[in-house]
Amino acid sequence: MRGEKGEFWDPEVELLSAEEIRGLQLRRLKETLRRCARSPFYRRWFREAGFDPESLNSLGGLRALPPMDKDTLRSVEPWEFLTVPREEIVRMHSSSGTTGRATVIFHTWKDIQAWTELGARCLYMTGVRRSDVFQNMMGYGLFTGGLGFHYAAERLGAMVIPSGSGNSRRQIYLMREFGTTVVHVIPSYALYLLDVFSDMGLDPRKDTRLRIALIGAEPHTEDLRRRLEEAYGLRAFNSYGLSEMSGPGVAFECPFQDGMHVWEDAFIMEVLDPDTLEPVPDGEEGELVFTTLHREGMPLLRYRTRDLACAYPGRCRCGRWHRRISRIKGRSDDMFIVKGVNVFPMQVEKVLLQSMGVGTNYQILLEMVGNREEMRVRVEVTDELWRGDVRELKSLQKRITAALRDEILVTPVVELVEPGSLPRSEGKAVRVVDMRKDLGGE
Ligand code: AMP
Ligand code: ZN
């Protein structure tokens, strides 16, 4: 069995130099383009762009092709993307939380194996080993979070508890009964679960054997990560992926927790200015755009994610050259504009989690009051504060209002609410409720 000896799951690939990575990417890109020429969609796409896949001889040459996005995927029958006969497809997944036609990704057996290997590489990098008990609290089904790492953890040799999402008391029972050491979980749900531990009179630090959490699938702040680490007594690693690039396993934190390594043997990453589509320099924020390098059934070229982040240059302290990205600031389509100011939900989260007394959930409501736009931030407080002195609540409310005004340059109405009173989602958290459109008759 590979991987139990050293520090790396796949040292040959993980330790490639930057130059070797570029060489490998070019070879794989050429293969991918050759493969794409078998797909009806790509034949048309290339023709319309006047792009000759055979003539590409540098990574930069890819930029002659226009980027594609969710609308491109929706605009055609998904089968048209296939570069293999239909009977080669063994599974499909689709993107979560989208409206309209689902965007579907088809996988061959080899695609599933490649994704599984990437996942195992990520898990191993954070310290997961065969002796671990891996509780997978992600939804199983069309959503990629569940099945993706389920197979990855099995591949690595850990024992998997496929608990799926929700059913919080049972999750805690399973953790305790079977000695779970690693959880794969959506961060807002991990935060919520702390309330359930507390309702059950349990302390996850003492009453579980958890040591690692893999958190991802939604934007979250550094403060949220630290809070989870502290409350559970474990290390939490940021996990990034999207169904269009198979799912989790695209970029992952190493033990240094200093940005997520994008697996550049599997993906070409570009960071582009979302307006001009020109590359932005390292360290500057832009939209992540990916090209698959070993996808067999349904390769995607220059896929626009709408996710905003920046790339960190250079070699990481862990020895890997695979470029790192910052935490995802949010999706460009998560951003909302209130009173003429652009705001990301993560800016609000950052302020809230830095305030003592804030509980485990919050919600941002945008509404019209007469002709005026109003931003209302509803925040659950801790049980202790809720039952305590009303003056303390007042003072917290004032402090949060001032801190939010400093951060986002808009003064919101801050409402402190009872623990457990805001709606919860078992999947990705819904942070923003925009009622302006309903009332404004758009
Ligand atoms: P899905 O299409 O359901 O796989 O959702 C993918 C999207 O979830 C990504 O494009 C991101 O917007 C978001 N996402 C996934 N992982 C993370 C993460 N670690 N941090 C922030 N956002 C994430
Ligand atoms: Zn590293």
Residues 256 and 205 in one domain: yes
Percent of the chain with pLDDT over 70: 97
Structural domains counted in the chain: 2
Cα distance between residue 49 and residue 58, in whole Å: 18
How far does the centroid of ligand 2 lie from the alpha carbon of residue 126, in Å? 10
How far does the centroid of ligand 1 lie from the alpha carbon of residue 268, in Å? 18
Mean pLDDT of 223-250: 97
Judge if the beta carbon of residue 307 lies within 6 A of ligand 1: yes
From the list 54, 18, 5, 64, the residue with the least C-alpha distance to 291 is 64
Judge if the beta carbon of residue 218 lies within 6 A of ligand 1: yes
Residues 326 and 349 in one domain: no
Find the CATH number of the domain harbouring 39: 3.40.50.12780
Provide the domain limits for residue 323.
Answer: 1-332
Which residues, in sequence order, are CB contacts of 100 under 8 Å at separation 6+?
74
Ligand nearest to the CA of 126: 2
Can you spell out the DSSP letters for 39-78? SHHHHHHHHHHT--GGG--SGGGGGGSPPB-HHHHHHS-G
pLDDT of residue 95: 87
Residues 307 and 344 in one domain: no
> For residue 134, what are its two tokens?
């891996």
From the list 263, 250, 245, 248, the residue with the least C-alpha distance to 299 is 245
How far does the centroid of ligand 1 lie from the alpha carbon of residue 187, in Å? 12
Give ∠ CA 387-391-393 in degrees, rounded to 5: 60
pLDDT digits (tens, 9 = 90+) for 334-390: 899 999 999 999 999 999 999 999 999 999 999 999 889 999 999 999 999 999 999
How far does the centroid of ligand 2 lie from the alpha carbon of residue 254, in Å? 5
Q: Could you say which of 280, 306, 332 is where a domain stops? A: 332
Element (H or E) spanning 311, and its range? strand 311-312
Give ∠ CA 36-38-44 in degrees, rounded to 5: 75
The predicted model scores a pTM of 0.93
Q: Is the pLDDT of residue 439 over 60?
A: no
Q: Is the pLDDT of residue 1 over 60?
A: no
The residue type at 291: T
Q: Is the pLDDT of residue 47 over 60?
A: yes
Look-up: residue for tokens 């055609």? 76
Residues 204 and 307 in one domain: yes
> For residue 80, what are its two tokens?
């048209």
> For residue 17, what are its two tokens?
């130099």
Residue count of the chain, please give it. 442
- Burial class for 313, CB neighbours closer than 10 Å (0-12, 13-18, 19+): exposed
Ligand nearest to the CA of 253: 2
Residues 425 and 310 in one domain: no
Give the range among 115-124, 239-248, 335-344 with minimum mean pLDDT: 335-344
Cα distance between residue 364 and residue 373, in whole Å: 13
Helices (H) and strands (E) in the chain, counts: 14, 21
| Best probe residue, ligand 1, of 269, 310, 328 (max atoms within 8 Å of C-beta) | 328
From the list 246, 247, 220, the residue with the least C-alpha distance to 237 is 220
pLDDT of residue 438: 60
Residues 246 and 97 in one domain: yes
SS (H, E, C) 147-200: HHHHHHHHHHCCEEECCCCCCHHHHHHHHHHHCCCEEEECHHHHHHHHHHHHHC
Judge if the beta carbon of residue 219 lies within 6 A of ligand 1: yes
Residues 362 and 328 in one domain: no
Helix, strand, coil tally for the chain in percent (to 5): 40, 25, 40
Judge if the beta carbon of residue 103 lies within 6 A of ligand 1: no
How far does the centroid of ligand 1 lie from the alpha carbon of residue 173, in Å? 28
Q: Is the pLDDT of residue 5 over 70?
A: no
Cα distance between residue 402 and residue 352, in whole Å: 11
pLDDT digits (tens, 9 = 90+) for 138-164: 999 999 999 999 999 999 999 999 999
On average, the pLDDT of the chain sits at 94
pLDDT of residue 386: 96
- Look up residue 279 and give its DSSP letter: B
Mean pLDDT of 424-434: 90
Find the CATH number of the domain harbouring 380: 3.30.300.30
* Residue 294 three-state SS: coil
Residues 239 and 374 in one domain: no
Q: Residue 4: which pLDDT band, with cuts at 50, 70 and 90?
A: low
How far does the centroid of ligand 1 lie from the alpha carbon of residue 398, in Å? 33
Give the range among 90-104, 115-129, 292-306, 356-370 with minimum mean pLDDT: 90-104
Mean pLDDT of 89-107: 84
Cα distance between residue 380 and residue 361, in whole Å: 6
Q: Computed over its alpha carbons, how large is the radius of gyration of the chain?
A: 23
Q: Residue 331: which pLDDT band, with cuts at 50, 70 and 90?
A: confident
pLDDT of residue 441: 39
Q: Could you say which of 299, 332, 365 is where a domain stops? A: 332
Residues 146 and 276 in one domain: yes
pLDDT of residue 97: 62
Q: Is the pLDDT of residue 440 over 50?
A: no
Residues 373 and 233 in one domain: no
The residue type at 184: H
Element (H or E) spanning 346, and its range? helix 345-353
- C-beta neighbour count of 4 within 10 angstroms: 12
Judge if the beta carbon of residue 216 lies within 6 A of ligand 1: yes
Mean pLDDT of 259-287: 97
Q: Is the pLDDT of residue 442 over 90?
A: no
